[in-house]
């Protein structure tokens, strides 16, 4: 059984290590490097098993109402063992504490290719309560359509008025 911790140092190096081990998802070195640099300024959480960070997640607050999962990745040998689910739980906790009402994520949209790894990613978000909200065909690149997914967070947030 592992545990979730906030990562305060070595974020970029950890990001490069985990993303670099996932060439079926992250095959472009410039994307890995841009991600590694971007998460340095974001809250980052890791899932640790036996003194190894097996998965990481970076959150990007879009306050006052939303927090985005900017990056989530699990070492391939640890896929399907619950690390991602624990990190989603942490994202929800963080979002609630920040007063957000939505948790969001962007992932690759279906593009009429045999890409089981990306279908597995979309199913992961589906299972964890995310709703497929919109496809942005050219947000990232014309060959990389972006699927925007949202998860409404349960409960009335502080300061929210109900009608």
Cα within 13 Å of Cα(124), Cβ side: 23
What mean pLDDT is reported for the chain?
Answer: 89
Q: How confident is the model at residue 23 (pLDDT cuts 50, 70, 90)?
A: confident
Other beta carbons within 10 angstroms of residue 30's beta carbon come to: 7
Peptide bond into 91 cis (omega under 30): no
SS3 content of the chain, % helix, strand, coil (to 5): 35, 35, 30
User: Is pLDDT of 111 > 70?
Assistant: yes
Domain 3-152 fold is Aminopeptidase (3.40.630)
Q: Are 100 and 120 in contact (CB under 8 A)?
A: no
Q: Where are the domains of the chain?
A: 3-152
Share of the chain above pLDDT 70, in %: 94
Q: How far is CA 78 from the centre of its chain?
A: 16
**What token pair was written down for 147?**
């699927």
Residue ranges in the chain assigned as alpha helix (H): 11-20, 29-38, 83-98, 116-127
Angle between helices 29-38 and 11-20 (to 10 degrees): 150
Residue, of 10 and 157, whose pLDDT is higher: 10
User: Is pLDDT of 64 > 80?
Assistant: yes
């Amino acid at each position: 059984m592992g545990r979730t911790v906030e990562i305060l140092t070595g974020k970029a190096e950890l990001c490069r290590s985990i993303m670099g081990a996932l060439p079926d998802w992250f095959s472009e070195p410039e994307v890995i490097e841009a991600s590694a640099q971007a998460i340095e300024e974001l809250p980052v959480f890791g899932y640790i098993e036996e003194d190894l960070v097996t998965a990481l997640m970076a959150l990007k607050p879009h306050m006052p109402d939303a927090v985005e999962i900017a990056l989530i990745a699990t070492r391939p040998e640890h896929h399907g063992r619950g690390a991602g689910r624990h990190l989603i739980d942490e994202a929800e906790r963080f979002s609630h504490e920040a007063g957000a009402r939505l948790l969001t994520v962007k992932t690759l949209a279906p593009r009429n290719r045999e890409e089981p790894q990306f279908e597995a990613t979309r199913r992961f978000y589906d299972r964890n309560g995310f709703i497929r909200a919109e496809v942005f065909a050219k947000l990232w690149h014309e060959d990389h359509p972006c699927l925007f997914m949202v998860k409404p967070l349960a409960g009335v947030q502080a300061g929210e008025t109900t009608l």
